[in-house]
Structure 1
Amino acid sequence: MGRIAVTGATGQLGSRVAALLAERGVAQRLCVRNPARAPEIEGAEVVAADYADAAGFRAALDGVSTLFLVSGHEGPERMDLHRNAVRAAAEAGVDRVVYTSFLGAAPLATFTFAREHAETERLIRESGLRLTALRNTLYADVAPHFVGSDGVLRGPAADGRLAWVARQDVARLAVECLLDDGHANQVYDVTGPEAIDLHETAAVLSEVTGREITYHAETLDEARASRAGARDWEIDGWVGSYAAIATGEVAVTSHTVEHVTGRRPWTFAEFLAAEPRAWAHLHAPGRG
């Protein structure tokens, strides 16, 4: 197996992948924009790399055979950054890319960012790189942050369902995909084990936090009005993520994590029980 490079190692997912690779004794290169913020990972080489600097990113990938490519931050320039990163990987001689895509990625997806993921997958394949696409659903880790200060989770998701997935489970899957070349040229739907709607999501959060949390199904007009003042691309992405739940585009329950790693991923309730820091800000007054 050739050298593995991990991007996004200062972030929530990349840092988990890097730590799990280190536990397996795997030599890796951490490609980060700011080396001073890189996690201390035993045996890892840290190099400065930024998708915005195609030449610099290409140099950072010298000698790398497998790349864990974390998608760039949402924004108008995101696809330009992805084009730079993919071109740099191809020019550097990288063989395979494990890319963090999104469930239901397609050119006409309701969720605008899912369209960008579909385009990035296409760019990777057409560049000659072998692709392993991890089409992750929405992260369980961020669900508590969708709740407003008034204890209401709002969005135009109607009664649609989704199987929240924990970043830790995605990281476990990513490591197996990075280490086994048999995952080349594969597209994986990545979800938790059970699909629930947002009423059920709010009920689980209420049970765990001891605070009354409810879900209000907004109309599309209400949703856009509630985000007035944000930039258009932000509103489109935020509304689209909920709308994709409503249409059923993310109502998928896959067995990918268990099949590849040998261990079932957490349910939403199990994640909250295991990771109390994710919802500590929602504690009921007076509760420990």
Structure 2
Amino acid sequence: MIIVTGANGQLGRQIVERLLTRMPAHRVGVSVRDPQKAQALADRGVRVRQGSFTDAVGLAHAFEGASQVFIVSVDEMGEGCVKQHRTAIEAAVAAGARRILYTSQMGAGPTSHFQACRDHAATEEALRACGVPFTSLRNGFYASSAVRFLGHAAESGRLALPADGPVAWTAHADLADAAAAILADEGRFDGPTPPLTGGHALTFDDIAGIATGTTGRSMTRTTVPDDEFREQLVSQGAPAELADQLLGIFAASRAGEFATVDPTLAALLGREPITLGAVLCEQLSEG
């Protein structure tokens, strides 16, 4: 049985949906914090069990009988995040899984300017030390994050952000398709994958142009000093630590950490990846 964690989240749920097109529901299980939110999956024959990365005993039950465990990284940063990932890895090993898969990120490394990439690197070290074969999916930067950074710029016409560098923005839907393909073809990648990226690396100058074409309203990209941007975030209620972490994204992109465009994702999909323009069009229209 393949167990997918975080199946109530945006990426985890899409991975499960893709798996269900490849194999019978009884071969798929999910570990979720709130089983009621996964009732629709249970109704389709997916095994749904409660599991939290802060509860090793609960994870033992959630991972029972797993042949592969797919660990979707938590939406947090710092040592607490890495500790949760270690708990999940240990539970997968104890459950007898023959392979552990993990959603890492392109640019993962101990010296990255972005805290999340340092956390992914620490988790990958835990995977190397666990004694079980693993696959670490080096996912491209989520395209939905670019949409969030746009904020109200589509209405105001002014995209004010710190200086940045090119980023290979990548759609959740494509990464879910790739994850399902890798799970179905066990052992296709051993250790970290190449970067799983969209087909183009874009700056926010590029994104402002794409958004202008998508919305029909002019958008101007302006550069805000890092300190000023941090102060704005804090004044809007963001904790200082989070403000620093968000600034790390821009520092990392300026250093070229997210600029690589790799053909591996397209090869897994058998088609070109979804463009950022398509993601913007969909999400801005929904907004």
TM-score by length of 2: 0.90
1:62 equivalent in structure 2: 64
Structure 1, 60-69 or 202-211: larger mean CA deviation: 202-211
Counterparts of 2:157 and 2:129 in 1: how far apart (Å)?
Answer: 46
Does residue 201 in structure 1 map to residue 201 in structure 2?
A: no
1:131 equivalent in structure 2: 134
Does residue 240 in structure 1 map to residue 248 in structure 2?
A: yes
Structure 2 residue identity aligned to 1:266: I
In the TM superposition, what is the alpha-carbon distance from 1:45 to its structure 2 partner? Answer: 0.8
In the TM superposition, what is the alpha-carbon distance from 1:131 to its structure 2 partner? Answer: 1.7
1:264 equivalent in structure 2: 272
Does structure 2 conserve the Cα–Cα contact (< 8 Å) formed by 1:144 and 1:205? no
Structure 1, 89-98 or 74-83: larger mean CA deviation: 74-83
Counterparts of 2:268 and 2:39 in 1: how far apart (Å)?
Answer: 27
In the TM superposition, what is the alpha-carbon distance from 1:114 to its structure 2 partner? Answer: 0.5
TM-score by length of 1: 0.90
**Over residues 242-266 of structure 1, what are the superposed CA-to-partner deviations in whole Å (9 max), with x where a residue is unaligned?**
2211111111101111122322211
In the TM superposition, what is the alpha-carbon distance from 1:186 to its structure 2 partner? Answer: 3.4
Does residue 155 in structure 1 map to residue 157 in structure 2?
A: no
1:82 equivalent in structure 2: 85
Q: For 1:208, what is the secondary structure of its paired residue?
A: helix
2:28 equivalent in structure 1: 28
Counterparts of 1:224 and 1:242 in 2: how far apart (Å)?
Answer: 12
2:149 equivalent in structure 1: 146
Does structure 1 conserve the Cα–Cα contact (< 8 Å) formed by 2:147 and 2:280? no
Does structure 1 conserve the Cα–Cα contact (< 8 Å) formed by 2:214 and 2:280? yes
Structure 2 residue identity aligned to 1:132: T
Aligned residues: CA RMSD: 1.7
1:285 equivalent in structure 2: none
1:286 equivalent in structure 2: none
In the TM superposition, what is the alpha-carbon distance from 1:183 to its structure 2 partner? Answer: 2.2
Counterparts of 1:270 and 1:33 in 2: how far apart (Å)?
Answer: 32
Percent of aligned pairs with the same residue?
36
Does structure 1 conserve the Cα–Cα contact (< 8 Å) formed by 2:168 and 2:202? yes
Counterparts of 1:227 and 1:265 in 2: how far apart (Å)?
Answer: 32
Match of 2:111 among 104, 108, 116: 108
Structure 2 residue identity aligned to 1:67: V
Match of 1:119 among 113, 118, 122: 122
Counterparts of 1:92 and 1:153 in 2: how far apart (Å)?
Answer: 48
In the TM superposition, what is the alpha-carbon distance from 1:165 to its structure 2 partner? Answer: 0.4
1:175 equivalent in structure 2: 180
In the TM superposition, what is the alpha-carbon distance from 1:55 to its structure 2 partner? Answer: 1.3
Q: For 1:25, what is the secondary structure of its paired residue?
A: coil
Structure 1 residue identity aligned to 2:267: H
Does residue 13 in structure 1 map to residue 19 in structure 2?
A: no
Counterparts of 1:206 and 1:234 in 2: how far apart (Å)?
Answer: 29
Match of 2:95 among 78, 92, 95: 92
Q: For 1:144, what is the secondary structure of its paired residue?
A: helix
Structure 1 residue identity aligned to 2:178: L
In the TM superposition, what is the alpha-carbon distance from 1:68 to its structure 2 partner? Answer: 1.2
Counterparts of 2:160 and 2:124 in 1: how far apart (Å)?
Answer: 31
Counterparts of 2:255 and 2:224 in 1: how far apart (Å)?
Answer: 14
**Over residues 17-62 of structure 1, what are the superposed CA-to-partner deviations in whole Å (9 max), with x where a residue is unaligned?**
1111111234200110000011623231111111110111022111
2:170 equivalent in structure 1: 165
Counterparts of 2:128 and 2:160 in 1: how far apart (Å)?
Answer: 37
In the TM superposition, what is the alpha-carbon distance from 1:281 to its structure 2 partner? Answer: 6.0
Counterparts of 2:126 and 2:161 in 1: how far apart (Å)?
Answer: 32
Q: For 1:29, what is the secondary structure of its paired residue?
A: strand
Does structure 2 conserve the Cα–Cα contact (< 8 Å) formed by 1:166 and 1:192? yes
- 5+ long unaligned stretches in structure 2: none
Does structure 2 conserve the Cα–Cα contact (< 8 Å) formed by 1:156 and 1:223? yes
* TM alignment of 1:269-280, pairs within 5 A: 269-273=277-281, 276=282, 278-280=283-285
Does structure 2 conserve the Cα–Cα contact (< 8 Å) formed by 1:34 and 1:48? yes
Counterparts of 2:67 and 2:102 in 1: how far apart (Å)?
Answer: 14
Instruction: Write 1 or 2 for the structure with the bigger share of strand.
Output: 1
Structure 2 residue identity aligned to 1:153: L
- 5+ long unaligned stretches in structure 1: 283-288
Does structure 1 conserve the Cα–Cα contact (< 8 Å) formed by 2:77 and 2:116? no
